[in-house]
Amino acid sequence: MKLKYFSHSAFQITTNSGKIILIDPFLSGSPNSPAKPEDVDADFIVLTHAHGDHLGDAFSIADRCNPLFICVDELAKYCKSKGYNAHNMHIGGGYNFEFGRLKFTIAHHGSMTPDNIYAGEPAGVIISADGKNIYHTGDTGLFYDMKLIGEMTKIDYMLLCIGDNFTMGITDAVKAVELTNPKVAIPMHYNTFPVIEADPNEFKQKVEAKGFNCRVMNYGEEIDL
């Protein structure tokens, strides 16, 4: 399985069977993304919530690739209202897809579409495929139930926001890693806009000082999991 980071909260998972899963594909609007919407393919698009920096280029990619959207019920209905295929889920629920299992978790944040439609609760997501568990926190503040998430599922890769202002900043994100106990922490949602400037290497140092592993992914980098 491969994990690619575009920038912000946008990732691509490619399973060993070749299924491509995009998470929060905000590409054209990110000054840091080396990839443009027309560069990517998708079998599945997972949206953690409806904010423009997460919904991103999902629809223009979907126009070309005809993926299945996977999101919480209200956001799935929004995608369907725009003519796309979507699988409705909700927080706490998991489902076995072709690529593996996907489960939504809580996230403390908001969720409104760019055209001002309420899109249900924001979420984090755990994707389990090829024997690995990847937890993408979505946009969220720190919450103590991350401890429960880590106890229920051994997280291999935790993709978590560190940019502050809208989400956890570095101090809270370090605590999030301690609570969740992943094998590797990967920072996201930083340095896209001036208001979320944060130093990922400061986060890495602080995480490693607590005895955890951290991988700062470069924009456009793809790693084997």
- Interaction site with Mn ion (CB under 5 A): 53, 139
* Contact flag: residue 24 with Ni ion (CB under 5 A): no
Nearest-approach distance from CB 138 to Mn ion, in angstroms: 8
**Cβ proximity to Ni ion, 51 vs 103, nearer residue:** 51
204 binds, among Mn ion, Ni ion, none (CB under 5 to 8 A by kind): none
Query: Looking at beta carbons only, is 197 or 208 nearer to Mn ion?
Result: 197
Closest distance of CB 10 from Mn ion, Å = 10
Instruction: Find the binding residues for Ni ion in span 31-90 (CB under 5 A).
Output: 51
* Residue whose CB is less far from Mn ion, 121 or 139: 139
Phi, psi of 166 (to 5 degrees): -100, -20
Work out how close the CB of 151 gets to Ni ion at its nearest, in angstroms, rounded to a whole number: 27
Which pairs count as long-range contacts for 36-43, CB under 8 Å and 24+ apart, including other chains? 37/61, 38/64, 40/12, 41/65, 42/12, 42/67, 43/19, 43/67, 43/68, 43/98, 43/99
Complex with Ni ion: residue 14 or 140, whichever CB lies closer: 140
Query: Alpha helices of the chain — where are they, by DSSP H?
Result: 52-55, 58-65, 73-81, 146-152, 170-180, 200-209
With CB under 5 A as the contact rule, the residue among 139, 153, 196, 207 that binds Ni ion is 139
Supply the minimum distance, in Å, between the C-beta of residue 159 and Ni ion.
14
> What is the closest distance, in whole angstroms, from the C-beta atom of residue 131 to Ni ion in the complex?
30
Classify 216 as helix, strand or coil.
coil
Q: Looking at beta carbons only, is 4 or 51 nearer to Ni ion?
A: 51
CB of 182 closer than 8 Å to CB of 207 = no
Sign, CA torsion 78/159/27/164 = positive
**Which one-letter DSSP state was computed for residue 67?**
P
One-letter amino acid for residue 216 of the chain: V
Residues at the interface with Ni ion (CB under 5 A): 51, 139
